Chain A
Amino acid sequence: MRHHLILRVITKLLAGAIMLFAFYVQFHGDYSPGGGFQAGVILAVAFVLYGLVFGLPAVQAVLPPWVVHKMMALGVLVYAGTGVISLFTGYAFLDYTALNPAHPEHGQELGILWVEGGVGITVTGVMVAIYYAFAGRPPRISDEEW
């Protein structure tokens, strides 16, 4: 894609905006549509777009595969860890009241924030990992055939 100047410039402009939108969807999920799943996918899309235009080595220099693989597990651990915290403070698993017993509502909001964060990390990791896995295989057909 080296000769597609417009695609390259637009991608550079868009990638940051897409990431910003992903974080908006992630952290504004309490008030507007969206949450960890959607934000994770959108954040992954920024990397996928960058990879499509600039090639796999360029995007893997930004986000190495080993980081992506750790993200996949980290998100689930953050989610389950939130539940374990509430277990250890004497509440039911994933009862976010435990995070702030004096103000249950604040505890709930904090719990939802952490849990959605975990979902977002895992979804980003999985989506980017799947993209790397597909794009990293040597193609059977050449570009000219398209």
Chain B
Amino acid sequence: MIETAINFALFTMLVVTAIAAARIRHLFAVVMLSGAFSLLSALLLVTLDAVDVAFTEAAVGAGISTVLMLGTLALTSRREKIPSHRPTIPLIVVLVTGAAIIYGTLDMPNFGSANSPAQTGVAAEYIERSPHEIGVPNIVTAILASYRGYDTLGETGVVFTAGVGVLMLISGLRTRRRREDEEDDDEAEEAG
């Protein structure tokens, strides 16, 4: 009962935040609202007992992303341009997609259902085997780092690739090399 009330309140706040973020043209406010959105999502994940995911969402979504978006904002305009076209077609696309997604959820098992694929798949085996095979009390860590070690290596690779991509696009590594050649700073030229 109390959990339903908490979920209801959190979802209401989530929807209000999303609508506000879509309507406000002042981008600084939108960035702050997106941070609040992430924090609310993290709270929802906590009520689902997915603490590890909530932790990540709070740290990455509400923390780093907000800072990075503020950094981006400093490089661009701080007000959204007024759209020149009418919102009818985007609205129809969103409504149709939303209806399709809601239709899709009708086939999903009920929340917390014991017969859902998440419960009947490998989860039971992990819970049963990890205490004596891995010996790590946090099963999430055991799955992440040991049973699914390949996946996590891939994820680390993805993070690394993202970092390299950003560095190649905007870090100015090329500028640094040029600066080393010339032995003086050319920031004035860079700013121009």
CB within 8 Å of B: which residues of A? 25, 29-35, 37-38, 41-42, 44-45, 48, 52, 69, 72-73, 75-76, 79-80, 83, 93-94, 96, 104-106, 108-109, 111-112, 115-116, 118-119, 122-123, 125-127, 129-141, 145-146
Contacts and interface: CB of A to CB of B under 8 A. Distances in A.
B135 A105 contact: yes
Contacts of A122: 156, 159-160, 163
B135 A125 contact: no
A86 to B, nearest CB: 10
A108 B143 CA distance: 11
B135 A109 contact: yes
Interface of B: 28, 51-52, 54-56, 59-60, 63-64, 67-68, 71-72, 74-78, 132-138, 140-142, 144-146, 149-150, 152-153, 155-157, 159-160, 162-164, 166-167, 170-172, 187, 190-191
Contacts of A72: 160, 163-164
- Interface of A, secondary structure class, is helix
A138 B149 contact: no
Given A118-B156, A122-B156, A133-B166, 7 more contacts: A30-B136, A35-B140, A41-B64, A72-B160, A119-B152, A134-B170, A140-B74
Nearest to A126: B163
A41 B20 CA distance: 28
Given A35-B141, A72-B164, A45 B64 contact: yes
Contacts of B163: 72, 122, 125-126, 129-130
A145 B28 CA distance: 12
Contacts of B159: 122-123, 126
A127 B187 contact: no
